[in-house]
Amino acid sequence: MSLSVHRLRCTGCGVRIDGAQVQSNFRCVECGDLFEVEYAWSEGAVWPEGLAERGTVYRPNPIALKHLWQERKSSTLAVDQSGVWRFRELLPIVREERVVTLREGDTPLYEMPRVANSLGLNWLLAKHQGMNPTGSFKDTGMTAALSVAVSRGFTWVACASTGNTSAAMAAYAARAGLRSLVLIPEGKIAWGKLSQSMDYGATTVQLKTDFDGCVKVLSEIVKRAPVYLLNSVNPYRLEGQKTPAFEILEQLEWQVPHHLIVPGGNLANSSALGKGFMEMKHLGFIKRVPKISVIQAEGANPLYRWLQNGGEGQLQPVKAETRASAIRIGNPASWKKAAKVLAETGGWVEQVSEREIALAKAEIGAEGIGCEPASAVTLAGLKKLVADGRVGQEETAVLLLTGHTLKDSEYTIHFHRGDLLTTEELAGQTAAERAAFSRLQREPLVLDADVDVVLRALEKEAGQPV
């Protein structure tokens, strides 16, 4: 099997093109929609005779692949140690020698016993994509798309970002010896992410606009300069980002969870995971797929609004505002792909408030796991799905945690100091919420350097002599 045999299929009009022919903005010339990667074995693939004759039509064999993918975990080869390229039979987009990897993927699937208990669920899991090399799920997509950039001979890559894509791109570009251009909204991304892009040597530009404004500027730049676009409109990103679906199945010994809960920003990740699960079903690895639900912040909720209004016609962009800065996105590029995943898997879209996000983030922290605010929307959304019975007690739900807690430590510190939320945001708080906030808030104590003083503080905390 060749490792670089694929085509691009337009998700709007269905036209198929060779990967190398795609426009620099990754939009279809015919209809302007986005592409997805298609292989000879993909569902509904239309595969040219010539390619089939050259032996490229290969039907993956689930039993053999499950075994091979496990075996690779003990290999010393870089491509085998990557939790993305370990599955390379299902993402043949570049030749093996062109792969740029930081050993991404293979992230933990944690149990969340305390949160499960408080929600009345038997079992709750969190797939922590924040445990990737640059601290977010973006690494799995970046290894894929940046490897394609290398094989297409680009020397410059670029992205507009709310911070995590840029951190990942800068790191992978540095590994590959490529130059990278980062466009970020000035003052609106977390410091940890900004520092990463500088540390990895990107040309970092803070534009006086929001994320959606950065996307607009970059879409013009890639038309005028030979710069390879690494935003999630690039369909190769999604090929890498589909692999956590394979990992979740492996980690659950091929038992399919009932629900996967994903944060929604530009809506590429939910699309990618949907593609991953649907490919697994199509190829016979599993018999059904989980319901994939997307959770948006109330202040950045265009998909939620679109569905509330009947889910027809075009999505109306919103002016986005949320402290979960990673998902402060008002005009999501991949909304049609995500809407299709929701429809095909039977999942829902929910919106959650700033207060609900803050509380959920602290609860995930108290499990000893932690995540960035955008990831915590998953738990806040799950609570709503449990409350009205859309997620049942016996069902298995997996939260997709997208970023590491250290990405946005400022948010965490404000939460614990009690000055994160405004009075308006706190208004309407239930008694249970108020109790949960005060139980979870851990403001640092400033004490004299005296043993007795510290022990007294400890006793106070424990509520009894220690």
Q: How far is the CB of 20 from ligand F0G (least distance, A)?
A: 25
Half-sphere exposure of 181 (CA within 13 A, CB side): 19
Dump strand ranges (E) for 218-348: 227-229, 259-263, 291-297
Give one word for 227, left, alpha or beta, with left for phi > 0 and alpha for psi -120 to 50.
beta
The single residue among 170, 222, 374, 399 that binds ligand F0G, judged by CB under 6 A, is 374
159 residue type, one letter? C
Q: Which stretch binds ligand F0G (CB under 6 A): 39-47, 259-267, 350-358, 360-368?
A: 259-267
Beta bridge partners of 372: none
Contact 38, 45 (CB under 8 A): yes
Contact 294, 227 (CB under 8 A): no
Measured CA to CA, the distance from residue 399 to residue 370 in angstroms comes to 12
Taking CB under 6 A as the rule, does residue 232 contact ligand F0G?
Answer: yes
For residue 111, what are the CA distances in angstroms to 76, 252, 370? 29, 12, 13
The single residue among 266, 293, 322, 331 that binds ligand F0G, judged by CB under 6 A, is 266
Measured CA to CA, the distance from residue 108 to residue 125 in angstroms comes to 10
Beta bridge partners of 259: 291, 397
Measured CA to CA, the distance from residue 52 to residue 40 in angstroms comes to 8
The single residue among 8, 267, 280, 385 that binds ligand F0G, judged by CB under 6 A, is 267
Q: Which stretch binds ligand F0G (CB under 6 A): 43-51, 86-94, 163-171, 458-466?
A: 163-171
Q: Which stretch binds ligand F0G (CB under 6 A): 48-56, 74-82, 354-362, 372-380?
A: 372-380
**Would you say 185 or 257 has its CB closer to ligand F0G?**
185
**Interacting positions 117-156 with ligand F0G (CB under 6 A):** 136, 138
Taking CB under 6 A as the rule, does residue 243 contact ligand F0G?
Answer: no
Sign of CA dihedral 258, 292, 36, 100: negative
**Interacting positions 26-85 with ligand F0G (CB under 6 A):** none
Q: Which stretch binds ligand F0G (CB under 6 A): 1-9, 29-37, 258-266, 360-368?
A: 258-266
φ, ψ of residue 182 to 5 degrees: the values are -110, 125
Contact 163, 326 (CB under 8 A): yes
Taking CB under 6 A as the rule, does residue 204 contact ligand F0G?
Answer: no
Measured CA to CA, the distance from residue 401 to residue 391 in angstroms comes to 18
Q: Report DSSP state, residue 53.
A: I
Residue 459 neighbours by CB distance under 10 Å: 12
The single residue among 151, 162, 378, 405 that binds ligand F0G, judged by CB under 6 A, is 162
**Would you say 147 or 378 has its CB closer to ligand F0G?**
378
| Stretch 376-415: interaction string toward ligand F0G, x if CB under 6 A | --------------------------xx------------
Q: Whose CA is closest to 36, among 17, 8, 14? A: 8
Q: Which stretch binds ligand F0G (CB under 6 A): 34-42, 62-70, 158-166, 198-206?
A: 158-166
Taking CB under 6 A as the rule, does residue 257 contact ligand F0G?
Answer: no
The single residue among 93, 182, 229, 326 that binds ligand F0G, judged by CB under 6 A, is 326
Q: How far is the CB of 164 from ligand F0G (least distance, A)?
A: 3
Tokens of 338: 């995500």
Q: Report DSSP state, residue 284.
A: T
**Would you say 79 or 377 has its CB closer to ligand F0G?**
377
Q: Which residues contact 419 (CB under 8 A, 6 or more apart)?
A: none
Q: How far is the CB of 152 from ligand F0G (least distance, A)?
A: 22
Taking CB under 6 A as the rule, does residue 269 contact ligand F0G?
Answer: yes
**Would you say 125 or 327 has its CB closer to ligand F0G?**
327
Q: Which stretch binds ligand F0G (CB under 6 A): 56-64, 147-155, 266-274, 306-314?
A: 266-274
Q: Which residue is nearest to ligand F0G (CB)?
A: 265
Note the residues at the interface with ligand F0G (CB under 6 A): 136, 138, 161-165, 232, 263-269, 326-327, 372, 374-375, 402-403
